[in-house]
Copies of this chain bind each other. A is one copy, B any other.
Amino acid sequence: MSASHSAILLISCPDQKGLVSAVTRFIFEQGGNILQLDQHVDAEASAFFMRVEWDLAGFVLEREAIGTAFDLTIARRFGMAWSLHFSDDVPRMALFVSKQSHCLYDILGRVQSGEWKVQIPLMISNHDTLRPVAESFGIPFHVFKITPDNKAEQEAAQIALLKQHKVDLVVLARYMQIVTGALISEFHNRVINIHHSFLPAFAGAKPYHAAYARGVKLIGATSHYVTEELDAGPIIAQDVLAVNHRDSVADLVRKGQDVEKLVLAEAVWSHLNNRVLVYNNKTVVF
């Protein structure tokens, strides 16, 4: 639970003594009351991760000064990588879709009802199919038809559009195109995909057909940050549901949509709430 105005620090660094003490003392001395603190030590990698959120009411430092003060007094000393966020920031999220609408409706419903505090300045698709949905929610809809010949060019245009709209996060809500390195590196650890299988099982195309052929008793979905290697990025959330011999491929597709939309929503929620840290192609989700 967040206070109406709170600050969030995400920190990672080599593990060493005194880390939590130093960070919490910094917050305390400036008059901050900690609302939530999570830390994790990966003993094998000797790595330290922390998320701390504190109430800004009564905090002495001005928002603009917090980062500099923290960097100078704490972060440099311990060799920390860090980022600072505020709970009342409203991130800007772009949605990429193709023809299927289940993840899209799920996300738009959450935004419209106020469950998620987020701006959606634009949607991007390679098809015109979902334009009416975008329009009924009042969201500008841009179609970029992708062919092998124009892919690089179209993606460059997409990136320009995303930057023009100051997009913070790109969500591939069943976007059936592979995005390439240009977009991925521009939005490093800020492109979230939903894959319709329990990765690493059934990576690539047609996972429900593959699951049916193998006769698995569970199907799943995996939401991950997109990296250059297909379906191999850091996993943020996964879930499964039970199926059986009665389920045809069409049944798997239908049932799987419910897992897909919930898993994607969980991953995006964690990201929007600044709960995710990435290292070694894995995630810490606080």
Contacts and interface: CB of A to CB of B under 8 A. Distances in A.
Interface string A1-42: 100000000000001111111001101100111111111111
Of A43, A106, A199, A215, most buried by chain B (CB within 10 Å of CB) is A215
Interface stretch (A89-97, A142-150, A178-186, A231-239): A231-239
Nearest to A246: B40
A158 interface: no
Chain A at the B interface: mostly helix, strand, loop or mixed?
mixed
Contacts of A33: 15-17
A24 B16 CA distance: 13
Nearest to A50: B37
Contact of A27 (B21, B27, B235, B240): B21
A245 B283 contact: yes
Given A21-B27, A37-B20, A234 B215 contact: yes
Nearest to A137: B136
A163 to B, nearest CB: 30
Given A105-B112, A214-B200, A245 B285 contact: yes
Contacts of A238: 216-218
Contacts of A31: 17
Interface in A154-176: none
A125 to B, nearest CB: 15
A121 to B, nearest CB: 19
A245 B214 contact: no
Contacts of A42: 245
A250 B115 CA distance: 11
B106 A109 contact: yes
A262 interface: yes
A253 B244 CA distance: 24
A284 interface: yes
